[in-house]
């Protein structure tokens, strides 16, 4: 037993040593197996084109990104990796007078890096110049004075900005980027020397002298894990940017040698040498008496412990068996050890969110070099109920606007779900927290979020084999991927039901401000209660205001739906638009979104549109629904939960005392 424990401790120590490791790949041609193409990039005959291949001038932007994140920094040793890359590229043009803008090799913490066309080289978003973080070597074919370009044929080092830290004129090396020749490039960064060097040549032999040398410590800019790739852009040009081969490697983390193998054969335990000083018989008697008394007690203790462990294990296996039976397809079962290692022991530095279900951690899987989000439940009966609900529902679903479930784990009393990682977090964070720092979400993204959410709710309500009622649609449950596409998540409160059957009847669950009035009254979740919540969310998106928030010197609580409806009745609905947008939106789209939000948040559920109709309206495929100038008033009397904690709880519970209460919705 002690040998096994000793072996385990050595093995655990070895695991802690391999947290960071060197990476290497060498590709003479490209396939889609290991790379992601974004924007206008494409793959043709093993060669990647980064910008559009058109016979007429166009504006274009595209990226090629290696799928797996690469370890560049070891937080335990505080060591940054060195790296070396070689690639061959060409810049061609059917119209030599129509040139620009160039391409770049980059390192980024984001695996969805795609910037704007034009002088932004596909690295930077024109409306959010400081948002994207990167270390890039640019190959610029157009002089852009806005970015202090020295000429139209240079290489430069860029860090989080297209104003280069240092540039070099390529004509000094006899290289013309627009020559149509295949150009070989080598980029070396030596961490210990804090030096980056760039070599270019028309030949495959690496030159002796670099064209660009920059003395810089990249450890200030390189994260623990980074993505590597290429980006390019054009504006009113027929310039083409192609990558034909690519090799890359990191080094400097040093090979990790495991400790000497430990086995039962190699561990020799020498018996102690006992000196016989005449008390040998007395010692044996004492030992025999002690063993006679302590032995049975020890045996009973071991028996009790074994029974307790067996019962606990049986319960865990039974729960796991029940959950497995609910799964229809797809998600992988992770081991607890995998998820603990990927989150560094569920370290607080890896926390990216908290919710009713529990805590969400950012996870790095070294074997697959991938990133995911791990939801760790609270230890409660409700959490197990929600865990089973979320797992059995979302495992069956496939839609581009859903947060995709990768897998699950139930071990050691833990309930864990593994999802795709969403780099831009939740909608409420982007709408409110980032806006407070002067970066309001741009209108095209907002409108696209409304359309994406309508699309996925149409799928859940009308296109699944069984209708899915989400019951907790709110801004914090809508995640945003790297391109700010909406991804609906958190199915802990969702319920399955057959189409055309009675609505789900439960105690009211959800979040204040998003709950439909009839749901508060009857406790019956239907697709129309989801529609109401959707209406509140898109009013948030359009107005940049929370569903219920304080206003004025007295901080009087104002309901968002009431506020927008009042402006609408006064003929001033466009005044509800988020002031932080500075009127940078299409007025027709803004008005449409506000009216759709009001129609969905109509107190009368029978007047609310279905989500398919909403999706068609937003896509200009159907006429908008008539919205009355005055908000409808509903008066009813019924029995509802009197306790506010029961009304707005985030999970199911036991029945609460009921009282007769009149509710007036106006």
Backbone phi, psi, residue 228, to 5°: -120, 150
> Which parts are annotated binding residues for ATP?
375
For the question of residue 481 being annotated catalytic, the response is no
Identify which of 103, 100, 136 has the alpha carbon closest to the alpha carbon of residue 118: 100
**In the structure encoding, which two tokens stand for residue 513, read together?**
């401000």
Quote the DSSP letter at residue 462: I
CA 537 to chain CA centroid, nearest Å:
20
Tell me how long the chain is.
Answer: 666
CB-CB contact of 102 with 232 (8 Å) = yes
CB-CB contact of 613 with 445 (8 Å) = no
Q: Which of 472, 490, 578, 646 does the annotation list as catalytic?
A: 472
How far apart CA 160 and CA 577 sit, in angstroms, is 31
Helix (H), strand (E) at residue 539: helix 527-543
Tell me how crowded residue 287 is: count the other CB atoms within 10 A of its CB.
10
How far apart CA 51 and CA 588 sit, in angstroms, is 32
Q: Are strands 35-39 and 58-66 parallel, antiparallel or unpaired?
A: antiparallel
How far apart CA 345 and CA 657 sit, in angstroms, is 43
Burial class of residue 21, CB neighbours in 10 A (0-12, 13-18, 19+): middle
Catalogue the E-assigned strands of 511-589: 524-525, 548-551, 556-559
How far apart CA 567 and CA 64 sit, in angstroms, is 47
> Which parts are annotated binding residues?
375
Quote the DSSP letter at residue 128: B
CA 129 to chain CA centroid, nearest Å:
21
Quote the DSSP letter at residue 370: E
Residue 410 β-bridge partners? 415
Identify which of 185, 145, 183, 176 has the alpha carbon closest to the alpha carbon of residue 162: 145
Helix then strand then coil, % of the chain, to nearest 5: 30, 30, 40
For 407, 421, 424, 617, the CA distances from 367, given in Å and listed in that order, are 16, 17, 25, 46
Buried b (16+ CB within 10 A) or exposed e, 405-414: bbbbbbbeeb
Q: For helices 587-600 and 527-543, give the axis angle rounded to 10 degrees.
A: 150
Identify which of 173, 182, 132, 129 has the alpha carbon closest to the alpha carbon of residue 155: 173
> Can you give 490-517 as a three-state secondary structure string?
CCCCCEEECCCCCCEECCCCCCCCCCCH
**In the structure encoding, which two tokens stand for residue 126, read together?**
């024109």
How far apart CA 284 and CA 298 sit, in angstroms, is 20
Burial class of residue 255, CB neighbours in 10 A (0-12, 13-18, 19+): exposed
Buried b (16+ CB within 10 A) or exposed e, 140-177: bbbebeebebeebbbbbbbbbebebeebbebeebebeb
Residues that are catalytic: 472
């Amino acid at each position: 037993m002690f040998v096994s424990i000793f072996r385990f401790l050595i093995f655990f120590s070895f695991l802690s040593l391999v947290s960071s490791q060197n990476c290497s790949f060498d590709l003479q041609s490209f396939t889609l197996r290991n790379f992601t193409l974004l924007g206008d990039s494409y793959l043709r005959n093993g060669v990647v084109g980064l910008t559009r291949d058109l016979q007429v001038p166009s504006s274009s932007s595209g990226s090629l990104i290696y799928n797996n994140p690469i370890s560049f920094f070891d937080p335990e040793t505080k060591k940054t990796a060195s790296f070396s890359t070689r690639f061959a590229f060409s810049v061609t043009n059917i119209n030599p007078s129509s040139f620009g803008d160039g391409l770049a090799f980059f390192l980024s913490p984001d695996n969805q890096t795609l910037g704007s066309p034009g002088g932004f080289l596909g690295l930077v978003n024109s409306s959010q110049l400081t948002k994207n973080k990167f270390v890039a070597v640019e190959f610029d074919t157009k002089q852009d004075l806005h970015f202090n370009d020295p000429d139209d044929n240079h290489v430069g080092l860029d860090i989080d900005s297209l104003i280069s830290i240092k540039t070099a004129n390529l004509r000094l090396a006899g290289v013309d980027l627009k020559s149509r020749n295949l150009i070989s490039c080598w980029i070396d960064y030596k961490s210990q020397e804090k030096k980056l060097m760039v070599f270019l040549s028309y030949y495959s032999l690496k030159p002796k002298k670099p064209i660009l040398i920059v003395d810089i410590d990249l450890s200030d800019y390189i994260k623990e894990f980074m993505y590597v790739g290429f980006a390019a852009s054009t504006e009113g040009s027929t310039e083409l940017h192609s990558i034909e081969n690519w090799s890359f490697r990191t080094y400097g983390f040093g090979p990790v040698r495991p400790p000497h193998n430990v086995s039962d054969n190699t561990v020799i335990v020498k018996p102690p040498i006992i000196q016989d000083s005449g008390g040998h018989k007395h010692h044996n008697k004492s030992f025999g008496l002690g063993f006679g008394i302590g032995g049975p007690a020890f045996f009973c203790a071991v028996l009790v412990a074994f029974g307790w462990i067996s019962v606990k294990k049986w319960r865990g296996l039974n729960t796991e068996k029940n959950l497995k039976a609910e799964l229809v397809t797809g998600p992988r079962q992770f081991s607890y050890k995998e998820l603990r290692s990927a989150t560094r022991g569920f370290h607080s530095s890896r926390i990216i969110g908290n919710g009713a279900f529990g805590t969400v951690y950012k996870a790095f899987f070294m074997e697959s070099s991938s990133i995911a989000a791990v939801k760790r439940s609270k230890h409660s009966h409700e959490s197990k109920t929600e865990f089973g609900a979320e797992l059995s529902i979302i495992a069956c679903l496939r839609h581009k606007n859903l947060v995709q479930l990768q897998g699950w784990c139930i071990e050691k009393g833990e309930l864990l779900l593994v999802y795709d990682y969403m780099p831009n977090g939740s909608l409420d964070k982007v709408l409110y927290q980032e806006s407070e720092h002067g970066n309001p979400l741009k209108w095209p993204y907002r409108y696209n979020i409304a359309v994406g959410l309508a699309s996925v709710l149409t799928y859940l309500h009308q296109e699944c084999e069984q209708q899915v009622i989400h019951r907790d649609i709110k801004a914090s449950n809508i995640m945003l991927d790297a391109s700010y596409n909406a991804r609906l998540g958190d199915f802990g409160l969702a319920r399955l039901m057959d189409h055309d059957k009675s609505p789900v009847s439960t105690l009211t669950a959800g979040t204040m401000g998003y709950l439909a009035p009839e749901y508060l009254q009857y406790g019956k979740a239907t697709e129309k209660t989801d529609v109401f919540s959707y209406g509140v969310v898109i009013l948030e998106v359009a107005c940049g205001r929370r569903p219920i928030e304080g206003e004025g010197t007295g901080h009087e609580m104002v309901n968002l739906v009431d506020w927008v409806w009042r402006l609408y009745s006064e003929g001033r609905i466009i005044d509800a638009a988020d002031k932080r947008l500075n009127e940078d939106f299409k007025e027709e789209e803004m008005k449409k979104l506000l009216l759709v939000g009001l129609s969905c948040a109509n107190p009368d559920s029978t007047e609310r549109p279905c989500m398919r109709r909403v999706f068609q309206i937003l896509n200009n495929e159907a006429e908008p629904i008539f919205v009355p100038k005055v908000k409808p008033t509903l008066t009813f009397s019924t029995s509802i939960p009197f306790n506010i904690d029961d009304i707005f709880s985030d999970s199911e519970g036991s029945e609460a005392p009921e009282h007769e209460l009149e509710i007036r919705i106006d």
